């Protein structure tokens, strides 16, 4: 698993709370951490900073969500794959207490 990303408290918290319920495999986590890592790279911020910004400021959170949409569309051409990639980051936000909208895939 991405050990560098796990240096961030929000990432460790995310893994811990998700696995408390869902016990994802190493492969599943590798994939999820990969999405988060790549998204953080596009926003030139780190996970802890992203959550802190989002919890402090609704506009900042909305901006991250807008950039998430663009990131997912560009990185994952298939619509469902893009939606699932967005959900990875949304999961990260949800488990760290940063409110985000969730919608089904339609």
Partner 1 sequence: MAIAQEKRVGVGMDFYEVCGLRRSIRWFDTSKPVERDKIQRILEVVRVATTCPGNLQPWKAVVVEQAKIPKEKRDRLLYADNMQGAHVQAPVWIYWFGDIECARPEIFQARVGALIKAGALPTAYGWSEATMANMVRGDEPAEGLPGVHELLHDMPQETSGQVAYAETVGAAAVGCLAAVNERLGTCLHMVATPSKAQIVSEQLGAPATWIPVWVQLVGYPAEDREGGGQRPKLPFEDIYFEGNAATVFERDPRVVAELEEAGLLRAPAPTPGRFEELKGLAQRFGYPI
Best CA proximity match to 101, nearest among 82, 93, 17, 73: 93
How many residues sit in the footprint of partner 1 (CB under 8 A)? 18
Nearer to partner 1, 10 or 91 (CB): 91
Residue 77, interface with partner 1 (CB under 8 A)?
no
Judged by CB under 8 A, does residue 69 bind partner 1?
Answer: no
**Contacts of residue 14, Cβ cutoff 8 Å, sequence gap at least 6:** 91, 92, 95, 96
Q: Does 35 bind partner 1 (CB under 8 A)?
A: no
Rg (CA), the chain: 13
Which of 1-9, 17-25, 38-46, 55-63 is the region at the interface with partner 1 (rule: CB under 8 A)?
A: 17-25
């Amino acid at each position: 698993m991405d050990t560098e990303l796990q240096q961030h408290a929000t990432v460790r918290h995310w893994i811990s709370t998700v696995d408390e319920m869902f016990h994802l495999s190493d492969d599943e986590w590798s994939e999820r951490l990969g999405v988060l890592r790549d998204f953080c790279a596009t926003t030139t911020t780190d996970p802890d900073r992203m959550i802190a910004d989002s919890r402090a400021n609704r506009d900042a959170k909305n901006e991250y969500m807008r950039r998430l949409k663009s990131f997912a569309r560009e990185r994952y051409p298939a619509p469902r794959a893009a939606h699932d990639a967005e959900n990875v980051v949304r999961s990260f936000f949800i488990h760290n207490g940063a409110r985000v909208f969730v919608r089904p895939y339609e």
